[in-house]
Amino acid sequence: MRPGAYLDRSVYAADPAASRGRLVPEPASPTRTQFQRDRDRIIHSAAFRRLAHKTQVFVPHEGDHYRTRLTHTIEVGQIARSLSRSLGLDEDLAETLALAHDLGHTPFGHTGEDVLEELMAPWGGFDHNAQALRIVTRLERRYAGFDGLNLVWETLEGLVKHNGPLLDASGRPLPKFAVHGVPGAILEFDARFPLGLSSFAGAEAQAAALADDIAYNAHDIDDGLRAGLFGIADLGEVDYLDGIVREIRALHSGLEPARFINEIIRRLITRFVEDVIAESGRRLAEAAPQSAAEVRAQPRAMIAFSPAISKADKAIKTWLFANMYRHPRVMKIRVEAAGALRRLGTRFLTHPLEMPGEWGQAAAAIAASGEGEARQARLVCDYIAGMTDRYALAEHRRLFGSAPDLR
């Protein structure tokens, strides 16, 4: 049996032995499949390590028990593997995509993304999926023979398209890209190594995307309850969560709060996972794809929530937006973090040579070559997007003499 092979792989699963390969050809590994090799490259990347110090919702010094981008990513990986195992997909590819899905995120969570979108508006904006592609195809510098990680086609396709197609059948950008169009980094790479931007990604990427939804709904409720942003009784405002709370109270009267919270989260994850498995099984049985390519060619996602759970998912997200992401404590931190990043970005866009080390050297080389404002701005964007929360604050202190406390 070849390394990493499965005995129960479905006909529509991605097959590492039939991968479309890498942009730069490499000899096969004697001990790992193509997807296992990609997973290992991501885990050993600098961008992956930085996730430990990037905010999910709370900044790290709010407490040691709240999620960071790294712990969130690990949880997504676990759920993605569970979904894939039950559906006969390639677990390694699903885990690889889960581990890579947030590599392009900025410091301070979505606050940083909003600031970079604002600052980069004259040069195509900012998209964290496009930034993740830049990281794995250009910015990581670990190998003598190429920039980036030289990942296989299936990993790159899933990284770019795990949330669905980017273009319609005629090649026009879908509505979500109406403002800036499909990010230039994606189009430029697609011209070199076509990723099929008008089709869905494979089933493993679809599973990783839903694993992300399941993980952050559950752990944001968990973190919000433990931080005191809302109480268990407040969850009754969402019908689906109210049903879970009532069930636990009926089964375990007098349960202490910490265990009660764990019961909520455990049941929420389990039911969403089981729903995805059941609904995806129905869709796959109906469409009967005979290959991974046929999964991509379907007119809708094959891995999905049922209508009832999709409705619950939207209700939970809407409630969390109002009660957690816009909570006064969170908003205070967001406003101060946004101000710090905006000052950094404005300073570096006007004085790019003030970036330290190799970044300042690269800025000087761009200036000497006359390559243009857009190239310089994208370099600044790469630098800021790669910062951890604490490094961004350290840079703010270096340039401005102080930094917000973010408490």
Is 287 within the bounds of a domain? yes
Is 213 within the bounds of a domain? yes
**pLDDT, mean over the chain:** 94
Is 232 within the bounds of a domain? yes
Reply yes or no on whether the pLDDT at 56 is more than 80: no
d(CA 278, CA 270): 12
Structure confidence by residue, pLDDT tens digits, 189-198? 999 999 999 9
Is 289 within the bounds of a domain? yes
Same domain, 133 and 253: yes
Judge whether 260 and 253 are in contact, CB under 8 Å.
Answer: no
Same domain, 144 and 37: yes
Higher pLDDT, 4 or 23: 23
Among the candidates 279, 300, 326, a domain finishes at 326
pTM, full prediction: 0.94
Is 382 within the bounds of a domain? yes
Of the chain, the percentage scoring pLDDT greater than 90 comes to 89
Give mean pLDDT, residues 31-51. Answer: 97
Is 406 within the bounds of a domain? no
Find tokens 């900044």 and name the residue.
59
Find tokens 């202190």 and name the residue.
397
Is 207 within the bounds of a domain? yes
Same domain, 361 and 248: no
Which pLDDT belongs to residue 233?
Answer: 96
Residues 6 or more apart whose Cβ sits within 8 Å of residue 26: 145, 150
Among the candidates 326, 350, 367, a domain finishes at 326
Same domain, 113 and 226: yes
Give mean pLDDT, residues 54-73. Answer: 76
Structure confidence by residue, pLDDT tens digits, 203-238? 999 999 999 999 999 999 999 999 899 999 999 999
SS3 string, the chain, reads CCCCCCCCCCCCCCCHHHCCCECCCCCCCCCCCHHHHHHHHHHCCHHHHHHHHCECCCCHHHCCCCCEHHHHHHHHHHHHHHHHHHHCCCHHHHHHHHHHCCCCCCCCHHHHHHHHHHHCHHHCCCCHHHHHHHHHHHHCECCCCCCECCCEHHHHHHHHHCCCCCECCCCCECHHHCCCCCCHHHHHHHHHCCCCCCCCCCHHHHHHHHHHHHHHHHHHHHHHHHHCCCCHHHHHHCHHHHHHHHHHHHHCCCCCHHHHHHHHHHHHHHHHHHHHHHHHHHHHHHHCCCCHHHHHCCCCCCCCCCHHHHHHHHHHHHHHHHHHHCCHHHHHHHHHHHHHHHHHHHHHHHCHHHCCHHHHHHHHHHHHHCCCHHHHHHHHHHHHHCCCHHHHHHHHHHHHCCCCCCC
d(CA 376, CA 362): 9
Same domain, 318 and 338: no
Domain that holds residue 36: 1-326
Same domain, 248 and 382: no
Same domain, 224 and 348: no
Confidence of residue 359 (pLDDT cuts 50, 70, 90): very high
Structure confidence by residue, pLDDT tens digits, 85-94? 999 999 999 9
Query: Measured between alpha carbons, how far is residue 73 from residues 10, 141, 206, 318 in Å?
Result: 26, 22, 16, 22
Is 405 within the bounds of a domain? no
Same domain, 215 and 335: no
Reply yes or no on whether the pLDDT at 6 is more than 70: no
Confidence of residue 180 (pLDDT cuts 50, 70, 90): confident
Judge whether 42 and 48 are in contact, CB under 8 Å.
Answer: yes
Torsion over CA of 115, 108, 221 and 308, rounded to 10 degrees? 40
Size of the chain in residues: 407
Give the number of domains in the chain: 2
Among the candidates 293, 326, 359, a domain finishes at 326
Same domain, 35 and 66: yes
Same domain, 260 and 378: no
CATH code for the domain of 88: 1.10.3210.10
Which pLDDT belongs to residue 61?
Answer: 53
Same domain, 76 and 46: yes
Same domain, 301 and 382: no
